[in-house]
Amino acid sequence: MNLGCSQMRRQLLILIILPLCILTSASRAQETPTEGKMFAGRVGLQLYSLRDQLAKDVPGSLAKVRSFGIKYVELAGTYGLTPAAFKRQLDSAGLTPVSAHYAYEKFRDSIESVIREATMFNLRYVGCAWIPHTGPFDEKTCREAAAVFNRAGAMLGARGITFFYHTHGYEFVPTKEGTLFDLLMSLTHPDSVFYEMDIFWMVHAGQDPARLIDKYPGRFRLLHLKDMKKGTPVGFFTGSSDVSNDVALGTGIIDLRSLLTAARKTGVAWYIIEDESPACLDQIPKSLQYLEHFEY
C-alpha cells in the first residue's frame, strides 16, 4: 500500500515538473539568437560601381570583385567587350550575373535583342534604370513608359525572365492623387512588371524606403543598397547627386534597420550593393561587413 502511494506521488511530481521543464526550454530557445535573426538576403554587386576600373582592366577588376567575397553581380554594360567575351571573363573570375540594366530604348525598340543577350548571360532579372525625359518628369512620359514596361514585362516573362524598373527619385513629382510613381505603379501589371528600389534615390527624393516597400508589397524584387552621407541635401526630383555622397552602409543617414526589416517581410529577392563613390574599393568591403553583422 505504501509502495503504491510512493509510486503515485512520483508520477504526480513528474506530471507537474515535466510541463515546467518544457516551458523553460521553449523560453530559452526563444531568447537564444538564431540564424533567422541575422541578415540572410542574397547579396550581389552592381558592377557599375567599378566602372572606372573596368574601363581600364576588365580581368583585374572582376578579380578584385571576387576577392571581396562577392559571387553574384548585376551588369550595366560590357566595357568594350562583346557580351560573349564579357561572359567568358565573368566565368573566369567565378562571378555569376543575376541581373542587368539595359537602356529604355532597347526595351521600346528592340526587346528581342535584350532577350537574346539576357538568355546568353542566363539572367534572372532584366531592368531599365532611366526613363529619358527633358525637364521635370511628367505624366505623359510616365504613361508612355508604363506601356513600354508592360510589353517588355510580358515578353520577358514568357521567357522566364523578370522585368524591373530601377527607381531614380525623379518619379516622385506630386500629383493630385499622390505622385507619378504611384501612377506608374498603378499602370504597370503587378504580375509582370517589378521594381528595383535604389534606397539612396528614394531618400534623395524625400521618401521613406521602408514605407514604400510596405505600401507596395511584392513589387520590389531587388534593392540597390547604398548609404547617404550626412548633410546631403534631400527633397529633390532630379535623380542626380554628387557621387561622393555615396557612403558605406551603416555610416550615413538612411534608416537601414527599418528598410531591411520591411524588405525581409515582403520578400525582396536580391540586395545589390551599388557604390558610385570614388572610394568604392574601400567602402564596398565595409558595406559587406555591415550586412554580415546586421541583426534584425
For 86, counting Cβ atoms within 10 Å of its Cβ (0-12 exposed, 13-18 middle, 19+ buried), the class is: buried
Distance CA 228, CA 203 (A): 8
Q: Report the range of poorest mean pLDDT among 1-15, 32-46, 98-112, 166-180.
A: 1-15
Q: How high does pLDDT run on average in the chain?
A: 90
111 confidence band (pLDDT: 50, 70, 90) = very high
Cell of 34: 538564431
- Mean pLDDT of all residues in 37-42: 84
- Average pLDDT over every residue of 222-237: 97
pLDDT of residue 120: 98
pLDDT digits (tens, 9 = 90+) for 122-168: 999 999 999 999 999 999 999 999 999 999 999 999 999 999 999 99
Domain 42-292 falls in which CATH fold?
TIM Barrel (3.20.20)
Least confident interval from 39-43, 91-95, 156-160, 165-169:
39-43
What pTM value is reported for the model? 0.86
pLDDT above 80 (res 18) = no
Could you tell me which of 142, 74, 73 has the C-alpha nearest to residue 104? 142
